Amino acid sequence: MAGGLTERHCEPCSGGTPPLAPDQLQPLLDQLEGWDIQDNRKLVKVFRFPNFVAAVDFVNAITPVAEGEGHHPDLSVSWGKVGVKLWTHSIGALSENDFIMAAKIDAIAGQG
């Protein structure tokens, strides 16, 4: 589903980069599975796992992809779940980078 986004790479943003307009969000969100937009400025999803070790392994698999893209999600880990929040910190809102990274995280989870 997110094949087009997973093929793309995050582009560096600066504070002058405009955030995505509200009408630009839904077409990108439609390319993802199970993500929600929070407060019109963050992309969020909770991934479920059978135990703590599997959740930590998922986080460890995200790490090199996030480093390679230069786009780092906020991650929260607890027993059997990982919460992911994405937004472009330099603009305090959503950019296409967030949707690209979300698609790559879905692919790691086997959901994209």
What total of structural domains would you count in the chain? 1
Position 45 scores a pLDDT of 98
Q: Is residue 66 part of a domain?
A: yes
Backbone angles phi, psi at 103, to 5 degrees: -65, -40
CATH of the domain at 108: 3.30.1360.20
* Domain that residue 65 falls in: 37-112
In a domain, 17, yes or no: no
pLDDT at 14 over 60: no
Res 70: pLDDT: 86
This prediction's pTM: 0.88
Rounded to whole angstroms, the Cα distance separating 92 from 16 reads 11
Q: State residue 7's pLDDT score.
A: 66
Give the pLDDT score at 55. 97
Dihedral-angle region of residue 80 (phi above 0 means left; psi in -120 to 50 means alpha; beta otherwise):
left
Residue 66 structure tokens: 């996030």
